[in-house]
Each structure stands twice: as structure tokens, then as C-alpha cells.
Amino acid sequence: ERGRQARCTRRAALRAVRVVQRFARACSQRRRYIALLSAVALLQRWCRRVVGRRRERQKAAAALSMQRLWRGVRGRRRAARQREARRRLQRACQALVHRWRWRVLQKVRDRAGYV
């Protein structure tokens, strides 16, 4: 009878040890899980910040590229207008000089008596 009682007491003690160990393991695992969640959240925050900065830099670069292209278009148009204005002015000056020379030639011919 004493042996059986000792076995029962031992079983009860082992059961109590298992319960305490299970609880300790659960607490330890829960702490690890919470630390892992915190680390994952930190990594996600960092990655999202990096991706956001990269996206903002790409947007800024795209805006600068569009501005540069548009300013180039405007500059080329302005230069073409200036070239055209210069050509018109040169044509007008050439026509004026031609008329003046023609008039001078006519006066010389009239004085010389050419028909």
C-alpha cells in the first residue's frame, strides 16, 4: 500500500511539474512571438519608408524630366520664331535695298538719257 501511495504522489508531482513546465514554455514562446512581431513591424516600417522615399524620388525625377522636355520645346519654338522673324527682316531689307538701287539706277538712266 505504501508503494502505491508513493507512486501516486510521484505521479501527481510529475503532473504538477509538467503543468508548470508547460506554462513556463508557453510564457517563453509568447515572449518570443511578441518580440518577433515587434521585429517584423519594425522591418515593415523601414521597408515602407524606403519604398515611399524611392517613389517620391521617382515622381520628382519624372516631374523634372517633364519640365526639362517642355522647356526644350518652348525654347525650340521661340528660336524658330526668332529665326523666321530674322529671315523676314532680312528679306524686307533686301527688297528695300533692291528698290533703292533700282531708283538710283533709274535716276542715272534718266539723267543719261537712256530709254
Cell of 13: 508531482
**Integer-rounded Cα radius of gyration of the chain:** 49
pLDDT in tens, 43-70: 999 999 999 999 999 999 999 999 999 9
Q: What is the pTM of this model?
A: 0.54
Percent of the chain with pLDDT over 90: 86
Instruction: Region of 114 please: left (phi>0), alpha (psi -120 to 50) or beta.
Output: beta
